Chain A
């Protein structure tokens, strides 16, 4: 692997006279791509520099949780670096020829910072940084959601990156076509009839559309595990593979869902700004309501749930034998409770997260 990687890097770094790879090892965590860390010792003009890097590689197709393009992610990282102040990894390039690494892959900068973000919450060692870090995270998300789409949507690839018929010509067209994608995907994800709660959620989305907001570039997997931090600042927002044009409230809704699943409390911070949503509204002027947050929790969750649950169904049907997909049955169970609560199911009163703000506890924007 070291030899193939060095050869690829020599192509991606044409001014390099010599490249040597050291310390190549898999990084645990990250469900959709296989990631490996290494140091590239790159010699230019007789001077050797150690460059921390990451190889992000697609899994085999049958095992994939998300079907995304490394080329699009590479171009997006370049655009984000050129046109925003968002801290993102430099992308050095792609190797799309599967014969080299087994599957298409990309090489990106390995940014410093703590990726174990649960250290910020509960009794973690960095709880003293949580308000500063989450406040910064909120500012970065507001910057992304107010950025010029034309500058980030390189070649128009972010309109319908999955190729499922999503139409971003207007907010209504986007919402209608995306919800149709969710509903029509139901047979691919219903590995058990209890998934009818997800179906109920999708159909309810169609019957209860909220007010429009300007479409924006959304991260697409904005969750408590997809950033690094150090010294009270976010040092990198990571995992941009699901980025696309969408409604900015999707990122907020998915964060709420993952905040609950991850046992974190991002949405409660920064406390001096009244929590994440209040600060986000102050920064963007979008005035997102609790009801809208509930609606987009289902909408944003569906966007991730469709491909992931389809992968789980392939595992349940024994099309492959990877354990991760079976494991996902377990931690995704609370999502059904969240859906049931948001849809107003009788008898569903889950306890709010311990640190939740009062305004987080009631979000019933999609009933009936």
Chain B
């Protein structure tokens, strides 16, 4: 995946583009308000993205614990309602906790450092490939290894990022 621009940078760009390239040319008051609403939604998504996974996981783990805890005070209670509470504690309440997601900023930083290392490796391998001989053959093999990593990545990235067919704004 692109670390830069990431989802936040793309969303920010859309908000700025709407502000500077669309709103100045919108004369209808209702349409003007609609654009502002879209900006508001996009900004909300920007704020949601960094914490979304973490919050969902936190809430997931908290809900399983709550289901377990809520059944405890009912231990001496009989009847179908209490039975259903215990059943929930024994089933959904026993789903294992999910691991906390890695800090996204640290992940992006590590991702970029690793990417730059592969980039530098391609430069180094090119020197070996042009030198010829045994080193060139070995460098060919090494480059194939790197390409083997990159190939599925670019295919997956493109599947994720592509929307529709063609280039908007071209004939």
B154→A331 contact, CB < 8 A:
no
In angstroms, Cα B170 to Cα A331, docked, is 11
Residue-by-residue, is A2-22 near B (CB-CB < 8 Å gives 1, otherwise 0)?
000000000000000000000
What is the distance, in angstroms, from B140's C-beta to the closest C-beta of chain A? Answer: 5
Residue-by-residue, is A237-275 near B (CB-CB < 8 Å gives 1, otherwise 0)?
000000000000000000000000111100000000000
In angstroms, Cα B146 to Cα A197, docked, is 10
What is the distance, in angstroms, from B127's C-beta to the closest C-beta of chain A? Answer: 9
Q: How many residues of A contact B (CB 8 A)?
A: 53
Residues of B within 8 A of A193 (CB): 3, 112, 114-116, 118-119
In angstroms, Cα B163 to Cα A206, docked, is 34
Interface membership of B77, Cβ < 8 A? no
Known contacts A191-B4, A331-B167, A345-B148; decide if A323 and B16 are in contact (CB<8 Å).
Answer: yes
Interface membership of B26, Cβ < 8 A? no
8 nearest CB pairs, A to B: A193-B115, A323-B17, A345-B151, A225-B171, A263-B165, A326-B13, A225-B170, A348-B151
Interface membership of B168, Cβ < 8 A? yes
Return the contact of A368 from the options B14, B143, B171 (Cβ within 8 A): B143
Return the contact of A194 from the options B2, B9, B17 (Cβ within 8 A): B2
Residues of A within 8 A of B157 (CB): 194, 333, 336
* Segment of A113-121, A134-142, A149-157 engaged in the interface with chain B: A113-121
Residue-by-residue, is B28-49 near A (CB-CB < 8 Å gives 1, otherwise 0)?
0000000000000000000000
B115→A197 contact, CB < 8 A:
no
Residues of B within 8 A of A262 (CB): 166-167, 170
Residues of B within 8 A of A330 (CB): 161-163
Return the contact of A200 from the options B20, B147, B162, B166 (Cβ within 8 A): B147
What is the distance, in angstroms, from A225's C-beta to the closest C-beta of chain B? Answer: 4
Q: How many residues of B contact A (CB 8 A)?
A: 47
- Show the binding face of A for B, using Cβ within 8 Å: 28-31, 115-118, 190-197, 199-200, 203, 206-207, 223-226, 261-264, 315-316, 321-324, 326-327, 329-331, 333-334, 336-337, 340, 343-348, 350, 368
In angstroms, Cα B123 to Cα A190, docked, is 14
B168→A340 contact, CB < 8 A:
no
Residues of B within 8 A of A350 (CB): 155
Between A and B, 5 residue pairs with Cβ closer than 8 Å are: A193-B119, A199-B123, A315-B13, A323-B13, A350-B155
Return the contact of A316 from the options B4, B20, B168 (Cβ within 8 A): B4
Known contacts A196-B115, A333-B158; decide if A263 and B150 are in contact (CB<8 Å).
Answer: no
Closest residue on chain B to residue A190 by CB atoms: B119
Closest residue on chain B to residue A28 by CB atoms: B169
Residues of B within 8 A of A263 (CB): 165-166
Closest residue on chain B to residue A321 by CB atoms: B16
Interface membership of B129, Cβ < 8 A? yes
Interface membership of B152, Cβ < 8 A? yes
Interface membership of B122, Cβ < 8 A? yes
Residues of B within 8 A of A347 (CB): 148, 151-152, 155
Closest residue on chain A to residue B154 by CB atoms: A336
Residues of A within 8 A of B114 (CB): 193
B144→A346 contact, CB < 8 A:
yes
Interface membership of B10, Cβ < 8 A? yes
What is the distance, in angstroms, from B11's C-beta to the closest C-beta of chain A? Answer: 10
B148→A333 contact, CB < 8 A:
no
Known contacts A345-B147, A345-B148; decide if A29 and B170 are in contact (CB<8 Å).
Answer: yes
A340→B167 contact, CB < 8 A:
no
Residues of A within 8 A of B3 (CB): 192-193
Closest residue on chain A to residue B162 by CB atoms: A333
Known contacts A192-B4, A326-B10, A346-B151; decide if A200 and B122 are in contact (CB<8 Å).
Answer: yes
Interface membership of B101, Cβ < 8 A? no
Residues of B within 8 A of A117 (CB): 171
Residues of B within 8 A of A203 (CB): 122-123, 126
In angstroms, Cα B16 to Cα A345, docked, is 37
Closest residue on chain A to residue B22 by CB atoms: A323
Known contacts A117-B171, A316-B9; decide if A197 and B150 are in contact (CB<8 Å).
Answer: yes
Residues of B within 8 A of A331 (CB): 162, 166-168
In angstroms, Cα B28 to Cα A68, docked, is 38
A348→B165 contact, CB < 8 A:
no
Residue-by-residue, is B113-145 near A (CB-CB < 8 Å gives 1, otherwise 0)?
011101100110010011000000000100110
Closest residue on chain A to residue B152 by CB atoms: A347
Residues of B within 8 A of A261 (CB): 166-167
Closest residue on chain A to residue B6 by CB atoms: A192
What is the distance, in angstroms, from A112's C-beta to the closest C-beta of chain B? Answer: 15
Residues of B within 8 A of A344 (CB): 147
